[in-house]
């Protein structure tokens, strides 16, 4: 892998990780377009550079992270409640990943399953964004913030996150939609999705690093890891700030249209109809 390929993959990871478009699907498609072989090292690389996106959110949401840490120390009841809800939401996907992770990688980490997930996810966004709460987030009630979140709502969001084991679905998509359907305002659903993503991505990155980290370093070298990590951090920070500002004025509909268009493009390319 050349340095510019590592840079490009880092940018793709950072931009798409927290947008409801599926970073895994974009990375797999980008790797195929760049001619990078589909092997264990490439799979580990695509997951491990998520560490850059994790760092970006930790920096942008450091106030919330500090509140949760103070909560764990008994200094902030609201912070403790938020931390507990994040753990509750994390558990379903953690268990499902341990039970079915190998089967998912074997059966669903191909381009055609990803194309299908892009298309179905795009339709889901367009259907759900027709709701007033999704299309007009500025009218959401003030009490629809994270303080109304309880363990049942968190468990619902966590159950939805299990769907993101299917590459192309998008962890951000299913958790944002689930949070909104559970009663959170769109901005609060996005915030919870980002914070939940920190724990989820940390677990996935650590697990994949233990499985194929050394093989990845042998294949690509440390310089490609550091390059991908750096560009993933910077691009993720920019993408998160843009998304939050965008959703203060607009719905998720544009991402539904994008996913459907991307699914059509990828299907044409995979079918050999595009050069």
What confidence score (pLDDT) does residue 131 get? 59
What confidence score (pLDDT) does residue 162 get? 92
Q: How far apart are alpha carbons 16 and 19 in whole angstroms?
A: 5
What confidence score (pLDDT) does residue 86 get? 95
What pTM was computed for the model? 0.82
Measured between its terminal Cα atoms, the distance across the chain in Å is 23
What confidence score (pLDDT) does residue 167 get? 85
What confidence score (pLDDT) does residue 196 get? 93
What confidence score (pLDDT) does residue 12 get? 94
What confidence score (pLDDT) does residue 144 get? 66
What confidence score (pLDDT) does residue 257 get? 93
What confidence score (pLDDT) does residue 156 get? 94
Task: Label residues 247-266 b or e (16+ Cβ within 10 Å = b).
Answer: beeebbbebbebbbebbeeb
Phi-psi sector, 26: left (phi>0), alpha (psi -120 to 50), beta = alpha
Q: For every residue of the chain, which 3-state class applies, written as one string?
A: CCHHHHHHHHHHHHHHHCCCCCHHHHHHHHHHHHCCCCCHHHHHHHHHCHHHHHHHHHHHCHHHHHHHHHHHCCCCHHHHHHHHHHHHHHHHHHHHHHHHHHHHHHHHCCHHHHHHHHHHHHHHHHHHCCCHHHHCHHHCCCCCCHHHCCHHHHHHHHHHHHHHHCCCCCHHHHHHHHHHHHCCCHHHHHHHHHHHHHHHHHHHHHHHHHHHHHHHHHHHCHHHHHHHHHHHHHHHHHHHHHHHHHHCCCCCHHHHHHHHHHHHHHHHHHCCCCC
What confidence score (pLDDT) does residue 142 get? 46
What confidence score (pLDDT) does residue 175 get? 92
Below-50 pLDDT ranges, the chain: 132-135, 137-142, 275
């Amino acid at each position: 892998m050349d340095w510019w390929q590592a840079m490009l993959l880092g940018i793709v990871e950072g931009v798409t990780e927290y947008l409801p478009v599926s970073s895994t699907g974009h990375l797999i498609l980008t790797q195929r377009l760049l001619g990078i072989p589909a092997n264990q090292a490439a799979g580990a690389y695509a997951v491990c550079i998520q560490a850059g996106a994790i760092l970006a959110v930790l920096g942008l949401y450091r106030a919330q992270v500090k509140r949760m840490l103070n909560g764990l120390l008994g200094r902030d009841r609201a912070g403790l409640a938020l931390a507990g809800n994040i753990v509750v939401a994390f558990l379903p996907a953690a268990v499902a990943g341990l039970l079915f992770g190998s089967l998912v990688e074997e059966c669903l980490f191909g381009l055609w399953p990803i194309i299908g997930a892009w298309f179905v996810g795009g339709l889901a966004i367009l259907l759900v964004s027709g709701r007033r709460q999704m299309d007009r987030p500025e009218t959401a009630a003030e009490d629809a913030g994270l303080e109304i979140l309880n363990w049942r709502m968190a468990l619902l969001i966590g159950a939805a996150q299990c769907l993101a084991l299917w590459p192309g679905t998008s962890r951000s998509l299913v958790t944002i939609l689930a949070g909104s359907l559970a009663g959170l305002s769109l901005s609060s659903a996005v915030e919870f999705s980002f914070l939940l993503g920190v724990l989820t991505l940390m677990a996935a990155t650590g697990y994949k690093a233990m499985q194929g980290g050394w093989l990845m370093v042998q294949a690509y070298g440390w310089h490609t890891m550091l390059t991908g990590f750096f560009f993933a951090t910077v691009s993720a920070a920019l993408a998160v700030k843009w998304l939050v500002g965008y959703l203060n004025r607009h719905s998720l509909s544009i991402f539904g249209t994008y996913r459907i268009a991307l699914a059509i493009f990828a299907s044409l390319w995979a079918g050999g109809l595009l050069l």
